[in-house]
Amino acid sequence: MSNLLEKYEQNAHEIDYEIFGEEMQFVEIELDPEEGVVAESGSFMMMDEGIKMDTIFGDGNGQTKGVLGKIFSAGKRILTGESLFMTVFHNVGEGKKKVAFAAPYPGKIIALDLLEHNEKFICQKDAFLCAAKGVSIGIEFSKKMGRGFFGGEGFIMQKLEGDGLAFMHAGGNVHRKELKAGETIKIDTGCVVGFSQSVQYDIEFVGGIKNTVFGGEGLFFATLQGPGIVYVQSLPFSRLAGRIISLAPQTGGKRRGEGSVLGGLGDLLGGDGY
C-alpha cells in the first residue's frame, strides 16, 4: 500500500494529507487550528471532535463577496450537474484534527498541487472530491462545437483554480501522461480525467464504416496535444454502470439470455431455476 504524506505552503489553507487503500481509497486531511477544507456533498467519511461542518453557497472560494456573487458562483455549479451547496470543514479546536473523504466508487484518488499547473486544472464534471479552503471550483466552457456535442463531457467541464491542494477521483487505475510540446495522444472520451490548461483538447471522428458500425468503441476519440499533464482513467464510471445495467434484470424480471437453452441451464446451475 502506497501512502502519501506531503505539506505545501500556499495562500490557500495549508493542509497535510494521507491517502489510504488501493481499490476503494479515502483521503485523510490533517488540519491545523483555523484551517479548512471544502468538499462535495456526499464525500464525507469521518472527522475528529473539534471540526465544525458548514454548508455554503458557491464554489468554495472564501473570497467570494456579496449575495449576487455567491448566487452566481452557485449557479455555475448547477451547470456542471453538481449541487448548489458545498461543505466546508474547519478546525475550530485546539491542536491538529483530521477529517476524511471517501471515493464514491472503485478507483484512485489524485492529489494535485495547483501551483504545478499554473493555478488552474481542467477536469471532468464528477472528478472533484475535495480541496484546501480557498481553492475555487468553477466551470470551463468548451469553445469548440465538436468537443461540446461529441466530447462525452459536453460543453462544460470543471476547473480548479488557486494555489492550494485539490483532490480528484478517477475510476480503475490512473495513468499520468506528460505531453511534450506538439505531442498528441488519442483517448476514449470517457477515459479523460483531467489535464493542464496548456493542453489543447479536441474531438476526432474514428472514421471507416466498419469501425463506425462494428467497432464498439464509440464514434469519436478525444485528442489531447501538449505541452502539459493529462490524467487518464482505465474504468470510467459510465462504462462500469453500463456493464452493471446490461447484467441487471430486464423488463419482466428476466435477464438477457434467459430465453435461450443455455440461459435456462445457467439459471438452474445458479440456483435461479425455481
Domains defined along the chain, listed by start? 5-248 (3.60.160.10)
Strands (E), 48-113: 51-57, 85-91, 97-102, 107-113
For residue 26, pLDDT beyond 60: yes
Confidence of residue 209 (pLDDT cuts 50, 70, 90): low
Tens digits of residue pLDDT in 100-135? 999 988 899 999 999 999 999 999 878 999 999 989
For residue 37, pLDDT beyond 70: yes
Question: Across the chain, what does the average pLDDT equal?
Answer: 77
Of 101, 91, 82, nearest to 53 by C-alpha is 91
Return d(Cα 34, Cα 247) in angstroms, integer.
Answer: 49
ω before 227 within 30° of 0 (cis)?
yes
Of 146, 213, 154, 224, nearest to 187 by C-alpha is 224
The highest-confidence range among 36-50, 56-70, 80-94, 237-251, by mean pLDDT, is: 36-50
pLDDT at 219: 66
What pTM was computed for the model? 0.75
Confidence of residue 258 (pLDDT cuts 50, 70, 90): very low
Confidence of residue 13 (pLDDT cuts 50, 70, 90): confident
Question: pLDDT over 70 for what percent of the chain?
Answer: 66
